[in-house]
């Protein structure tokens, strides 16, 4: 399990426009990295829209916001356009970053057990180390909680 102080696992994944993005591209900035199950589902949409609403405040704190799911680039593009999301959405269909961050886990839904992405967030400091690990976050409060932590 990832812990505060560890080096954040690196990755290179395509964004919603098909451009390759690496975690190392953001050295010198705070990175809010959040993993979510699926584009255009109610919880994931509320979470993304909350980050979108707070995005200027994150930018003012020298922070970038990056959402990752296993959805395709095309799905991310539609999701970002539909909700006018100003931040990066990265596509991880092979689950390389999802597994590196330990968010691919067993989930129970209405008694049915399956594997999936557990909604989680990580705050990475400007040197590339984990500052905060937030497992099982709530979609409605995640953005505000991370912003409040960063503002301290």
Other CB atoms within 10 Å distance of the CB of residue 110 = 4
State the residue for tokens 């509320």: 46
CA 119/CA 38 separation, integer angstroms:
10
Length of the chain: 152
For this structure, is 44 an active site residue?
yes
Residue 123 structure tokens: 């705050």
Dihedral sign of CA atoms 79, 98, 50, 106 in order: positive
Q: Which of 13, 44, 146, 147 is flagged as catalytic?
A: 44
Residues noted as catalytic: 44
């Amino acid at each position: 399990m990832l812990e505060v102080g560890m080096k954040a696992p690196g990755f290179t994944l395509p964004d919603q426009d098909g451009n390759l993005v690496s975690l190392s591209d953001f050295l010198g900035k705070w990175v809010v990295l959040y993993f979510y199950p699926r584009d255009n589902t109610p919880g994931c949409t509320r979470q993304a829209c909350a980050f979108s609403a707070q995005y200027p405040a994150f930018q003012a704190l020298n922070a970038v916001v990056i959402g990752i799911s296993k959805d395709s680039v095309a799905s991310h593009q539609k999701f970002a356009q539909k909700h006018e999301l100003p931040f990066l959405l990265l596509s991880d269909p092979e689950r390389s970053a999802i597994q590196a961050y330990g968010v691919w886990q067993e989930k129970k839904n209405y008694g049915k057990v399956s594997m999936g992405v557990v909604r989680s967030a990580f705050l990475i400091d400007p040197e590339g180390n984990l500052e905060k690990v937030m497992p099982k976050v709530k979609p409605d409060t995640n953005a505000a909680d991370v912003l409040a932590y960063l503002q301290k």
